Amino acid sequence: MTESKAQQKGLWGLSKPLLMEQALQFSVPLIDTLFLSIISDSAAGAAGALTPVLFLCGNLLWVIVFAGASIANQRLGAGMQEKAVATIWIFSGWSLLLSAILALLLFWSIEGIIALMGLDGELAYFTGQYLHVTFALIMIWSAKAICQSILNMFGLPGWNLLANLIYFIANILGNTIVVFQLFGLPEYGITGVAWASVIASLSGVLISMLAIGYHVPLRSSWLSLKRNFRSVSQNLMRIGAPGTIEPISFDLNLLVLNSLAAKLGTLALTAKIYIFNTFMLGVIISVALTTATQILVTQKVGAGKLAQADQQLRRSLRAALWGTAVVAAVLTAFHHPIISLYTQEQQLLAGAGWWFLLTALSEPGRTINIMVGFNLRATGDGWYISVAGPLFTWLVALPMAYVMTFWLDWGLSGLLLGALLDECGRALLFWRRWQQQRWHHSHIQAREAARSEHHL
């Protein structure tokens, strides 16, 4: 069987543009935080407090796209081009429908979200202003995820790099214009930063759509869509349903941690936001290598090359662990100049070294969770980690974080230690599950073969 373009490029061929793409994409929240800190620490804290809410919606959409891309990749790996294209259209339709529903729910729930997080005063005011604009990002993120997955699975990640470069440049220009009131603009504050994010995101999506229109053969007949709709929708549910639980748990956990940080005071919440956004730089490597690995692993699984799929994940995981370790070490070593970019508040400057170290120690666990968790879900073995992971988070890690923060009076350090415990505990569970090789029997080809034997 002829190898797909993605298989021909291999891990590093796919990862190089993905690394640059993710570097641009994950740098945007960091840049937004820097510009918001110019307005005030409260503005930066308010936007950062909302990050889990927006990420929760984004992750729900990404689960649909991820599940659909996994199915399409397995079809491509098995040489089923027509089924792969039909799968793309079907999962895209479901994702866009869900994004419209989530955006409306988010808009209607703004006041409730602010009250639930326990925000008041200036923080509540800034949060409301920011969310009244950024709810529109949900539909844009859906289109962006769809476009990125299509370009990646057809071995064209370079176009995603260009789209994110446009997004990155537009975001910096937009923030610069509104924060420094260039061209005679009035003071828009946090609302201006929010609009800059929306417009920049949309510009990147338009580039991706043009690339797909010119370079990816996505013609499909109504008959093909109708014939595949039920099967694809059922597999989306089978792969996606367990896939929603763990990301939702993670984002809700992050939301609770932010609420606990807010109870410690504005400075504690702001410090957590600054540190979290800074360490997103380490996620760049994990997500880029995971995206490339998921494409390669699912296509190998679709072709029946299970041993090669296992070897691919192990090689990718080693590379990701080394890469994130280097990033974490550099960030920790230069914690003082980094935190000084955000603020000159002496309490934050004094505690930065210890807080950066605790966050750096979480990186190996987070890397394993991203890499192994994504590939378990992609191969249809998502239920175990979707139950075991959240149970560990909510029954062990989060209660321990509360105890360390308030009962032992360790403050922000207690929250970060709780996050460290959460990442490491889930990493052990996920890696053990991969080694058990249940995914050998849970992928689509294995299930369809089993059904065929049953009918015979």
pLDDT of residue 158: 79
For residues 276 and 417, the answer to whether their CB atoms sit within 8 Å is no
Domain ranges of the chain: 9-455
pLDDT of residue 444: 61
pLDDT of residue 288: 85
Q: Per-residue pLDDT for 77 more than 60? A: yes
Residues 214-267 pLDDT 10s: 888 777 778 878 888 887 788 777 777 776 787 788 878 888 888 898 888 878
Lowest mean pLDDT among 25-39, 122-136, 395-409: 25-39
Residues 288-340 pLDDT 10s: 899 889 888 888 887 778 898 899 999 999 999 999 999 999 999 999 999 99
Please, which contacts does 112-121 make with residues 24 or more away whose CB atoms are closer than 8 Å? 113/50, 113/53, 116/259, 117/49, 117/255, 117/258, 117/259, 117/262, 118/259, 118/262, 118/263, 119/46, 119/49, 119/262
Residues 382-418 pLDDT 10s: 788 889 999 999 999 999 999 999 999 999 999 999 9
pLDDT of residue 394: 96
Residue in 287, 414, 312, 372 with CA at minimum distance from that of residue 18: 287
Q: Per-residue pLDDT for 453 more than 60? A: no
pLDDT of residue 443: 59
The Cα–Cα gap between 397 and 250 comes to 11
pTM of this prediction exceeds 0.85:
no
pLDDT of residue 353: 93
Handedness of CA 253, 255, 259, 262 (dihedral sign): positive
Residues 147-187 pLDDT 10s: 988 888 887 877 888 998 999 999 999 999 999 888 888 88
Percent of the chain with pLDDT over 90: 33
